[in-house]
Amino acid sequence: MSVVIEQPKSPRSRKAANWEKYGWMYMRASGAILLILIFGHLYVNLFVGQGIKGIDFAFVAGKWANPFWKVWDGLMLWLALIHGTNGMRTIANDYAERPMVRKVLNYTLWIVCAALIILGTLVITTFDPCIDPNASTYLPGVCAVK
């Protein structure tokens, strides 16, 4: 009779479910999209037309009159901030050895990230090109004389 050895299948005691797989996928997906968004942004802002000299309030107001650029900038804001914060989380996890330091750093990172995303999104969605009383001088036709 042959000896029967049962399969040693007791699973490793997993600490907790985790999101690392999704974090890894997000870094790559957002990175690929950011490549287009960031270099498109730099090209349009710094090369096209008058180049860097063209950037002023009116330039931004002009861009944001078009929903296309609102979506572009909004996507860039969200993707880059979450990407950068998740990248910083990776680095914090590497360097912070004490669990408490790690926790404080990670909470700080995500709070700052959330604050910046909320502020940035507010600016893009509630942007008023005529907020300046003199706006009619450089945005005639868009802003009424006040």
Partner 1 sequence: MANSPAVLEASATPVIEEVPSFNVTLFVRRYNPEDGREPYWQDFDVTVHGTDRVLDALHKIKWELDGSLTFRRSCAHGVCGSDAMRINGRNRLACKTLIKDLNINEPIYVEPIKGLEVEKDLVVDMNPFYQAYRDVQPFLIASDKPAKERLQSPEDRARFDDTTKCILCAACTTSCPVFWTDGQYFGPAAIVNAHRFIFDSRDEAAEVRIDILNDKEGVWRCRTTFNCTEACPRGIQVTKAIMEVKQAILRGRR
Residues in touch with ligand HEM (CB under 6 A):
27-28, 31, 34-35, 38, 80, 83-84, 87-88, 90-91
Residue 28 contact partner, candidates ligand HEM, partner 1, none, CB within 5 to 8 A by sort of partner: ligand HEM
What CA–CA distances, in Å, run from 141 to 54, 67, 129, 131, 145?
20, 19, 12, 15, 9
Tell the smallest beta-carbon distance from residue 25 to partner 1 (Å): 7
- The stretches of the chain forming alpha helices (DSSP H) are 20-46, 57-64, 67-95, 99-126, 135-138
CB of 127 to ligand HEM, least distance (A): 22
Instruction: Give 138's contacts (C-beta < 8 A, 6+ positions apart).
Output: 57, 58
Residue ranges binding partner 1 (CB under 8 A): 2, 4, 7-9, 11-12, 14-16, 18, 20-21, 23-25, 90, 93-95, 97
